[in-house]
Structure 1
Amino acid sequence: MRLTHLKLAGFKSFVDPTTLHIHGQRVGVVGPNGCGKSNVMESVRWVLGESSAKEMRGDSMDAVIFNGSGNRKPISRASVELIFDNNLGGATGEWSQYAEISVKRIIERDKGSTYYINNTVVRRRDVADLFLGTGLGGRAYAIIGQNTINRIVEAKPEELRIFLEEAAGISKYKERRRETELRLRDTRENLTRVEDILRELDKQIVRLQSQAVVAEQYH
């Protein structure tokens, strides 16, 4: 998949609907201080599922909504949308059939976020699953901010391993394995509960059989 458009509305300094056309495989965001470079980078992380207000430089996630300025009133809604060209079939699962894929997140003040893929309401996890192993995600290596290089250089071994696994494309398989292990654990716990119930029923059967023998003696 290749990112072709980034659409913002009400997100931080981008109060008016704005569309950025993305050309090429590598894109750099440059400009003077205060022009909104960080807001562009954060908008991509945010729409892909970032859940930490701290990573968005705010006290709460509502802080991404334009909060007013000297001549503009605050608004109550923000949205970011990414549009991908999927003609080469990079997407997997149910979305692989689409030539174009849209990923959108909308937040309303005091109401939380809603995620969409091709205008269908989905879970945050569905968005994350779509990009597993691609290097693109809330904190993946494909989005290189001002502090990303330092973060990689200073990363602890376990943190560096996450970057390498994502780059190698095996993170999605590890996630599937983790989910399978959780399901197996739940199944084992359910079996244990069933065995406890069966033992209790066996005790009741023995008790009822004894009562039946006594009852027959009085007939």
Structure 2
Amino acid sequence: MYLKSMKLLGFKSFADRTRLELEPGVTVIVGPNGSGKSNTVDALAWVMGTQATKQLRTSKMEDVIFSGTTNRPAQHRAEVTVSFENSDGRLPLDLSEVTITRRLLRDGTSEYEINGTSCRLMDIQELLADGNVGRNQHIIVNQGQV
């Protein structure tokens, strides 16, 4: 199993729809200051179910929604979708690819999906925990934790 792709829209500095394609193996995110490296990692933690605003480097959850700039209007929602290649069956679904989506609307409404089907946040957290890639697993190593 590996993270195959991540799509972002309106998440923090990602005002426009952005798609990242990943390959098996080690992934390193590099770039100049302010290019979105930390926000990319925050998006991964967020879609995988974190509720800790401190981990997302925000004071409140709605801060993950792109707030606009002098040239760009604020977004009405933040949305992140990840696709996992699952041909090894590590995630306990009989599917070779599993997608997870998390959406937060400006009014505070949250929406969650597994393969396009609405679900609860707990369903996502349990699915990932069952595949040993969620809850209490150290899959994201932030700067300063090494």
List, as ranges, runs of 4+ consecutive aligned residues in structure 1 with deviation greater than 4 Å.
Answer: none
Corresponding residue for 1:38? 38
Contact 1:136 1:143 in 2 (8 A): no
Q: CA deviation at 1:112?
A: 2.8
Corresponding residue for 1:101? 98
1:64 paired to 2:64: yes
Corresponding residue for 1:147? 144
Higher-Rg member (1/2): 1
The verdict on how the C-alpha distance between 1:12 and 1:32 changes in structure 2, with shifts beyond 3 A counting, is: same
1:127 paired to 2:140: no
How many pairs align? 146
Corresponding residue for 2:108? 111
Contact 2:13 2:39 in 1 (8 A): yes
Unpaired runs of 5+ in structure 2? none
The verdict on how the C-alpha distance between 1:80 and 1:74 changes in structure 2, with shifts beyond 3 A counting, is: same
Bigger drift between 105-114 and 43-52 goes to: 105-114
Higher helix share: 1
Q: Percent identity?
A: 37
How large is the RMSD of aligned CA atoms in angstroms?
Answer: 1.5
Q: CA deviation at 1:64?
A: 0.3
Corresponding residue for 1:83? 83
- What's the TM-score once normalised by structure 2's chain length? 0.93
Bigger drift between 127-136 and 7-16 goes to: 127-136
Q: 2:39 is paired with a residue of what secondary structure?
A: helix
Q: 1:46 is paired with a residue of what secondary structure?
A: helix
Measure the CA separation in 2 of the matches of 1:148 and 1:110: 34
Q: 2:126 is paired with a residue of what secondary structure?
A: helix
Q: 2:20 is paired with a residue of what secondary structure?
A: strand
Corresponding residue for 2:4? 4
Structure with greater contact order relative to length (CA < 8 Å, sep ≥ 6): 2
Unpaired runs of 5+ in structure 1? 150-219
Contact 1:46 1:138 in 2 (8 A): no
Corresponding residue for 2:15? 15
